[in-house]
Structure 1
Amino acid sequence: MLEKLKSAALNAQKNAYAPYSKFRVGAALEANDGNVYFGCNVENAAYPLGQCAEATAIGTMIAQGASAIKQIVIASPTETFCYPCGGCRQKIAEFAEASTPVVMITPEGNSTETTVGELLPEGFTLTPQD
């Protein structure tokens, strides 16, 4: 499944709308329904109105009826890993367990893995997590 997610994130990245930053990001997640949902960043001339790739993938997951993230992959356009921003860390945490894997990849195939809990210790949740 991880290879499928990596491929989906890289493919979504190609569709990113990033005319301002030129920083095209893709994300793909495996949901609790077994399906893969993906998204890309979508920038806007009114800067705060843009959307990150992770948020796009999560929104698609929810719109299709799934409710939890089993794992997520984020594709960077450069050799530097693209970790989720603070807002996306919280958005991911809303639908994932602290132990959920978060994998960052580069175009050259390098990767690093962490967890939601490591990225967002003491994040806001509906119920407290141990």
Structure 2
Amino acid sequence: MTDTLVERARDALDTAYVPYSEYRVGAAIRTTDGTVFTGSNIENANYSNSLHAEEVALASAVTDGHRTFDRLAVTSGARDGVTPCGMCRQTLAEFCDDDLRVVCDEGDGTTSEYTLGELLPSTIGPETLEAAKRSGE
């Protein structure tokens, strides 16, 4: 049986704009009050301006006033267990605790699950910047 949040991430694949890589990614993030926001990747010809599905989902939630999250599901058209990239992990860490559950779709009802802290240990956060200010660096 497929997880509801994974299903929402899969639904988001339909809106992906991927004319270059043809690698569709969908994400669904759940707030602590149970609201779900989805996103898909949006490519740009220069690649560096591309938006990742996780960022799009998170940005939608933050724009709507949400700041606390408990679960994220990520999928791709290939159902290959894709995890958020390093840039997305750092963006998630701005708003999510290390215990954010990250569910990665392997297909056929199979998932891998991690915490954000497992995927991105020793993240750069506000406390890192404050410590640097205090030490004069």
Q: TM-score, normalization: structure 2?
A: 0.86
Identify if the C-alpha distance between structure 1 residues 7 and 79 changes in structure 2 by more than 3 Å, giving closer, same or farther: closer
CA distance 1:94–1:127, change in 2 (3 Å): same
Moved over 6 A (4+): none
Partner of 2:84: 84
Alignment of 1:102-121 (within 5 A): 102-121=102-121
Question: Which residue of structure 2 lines up, in the alignment, with residue 25 of structure 1?
Answer: 25
* Residue 36 of structure 2 is aligned to residue 36 of structure 1: yes
Q: Say whether 1:72 aligns with 2:75.
A: no
CA contact (8 A) 2:94 2:125 kept: yes
Structure 1 letter corresponding to 2:50: G
- C-alpha spacing 1:79/1:11, structure 2 compared with 1 (3 Å): closer
C-alpha RMSD of the superposition: 1.5
- Aligned residue runs from structure 1 range 51-62, under 5 A: 51-62=51-62
Question: Which has the larger Rg?
Answer: 2
SS in 1 for 2:3: helix
Contact 2:80 2:107 survives alignment (8 Å) = no
Asked if structure 2 preserves the Cα contact closer than 8 Å seen for 1:12 and 1:27, the reply is yes
Count of matched residue pairs: 127
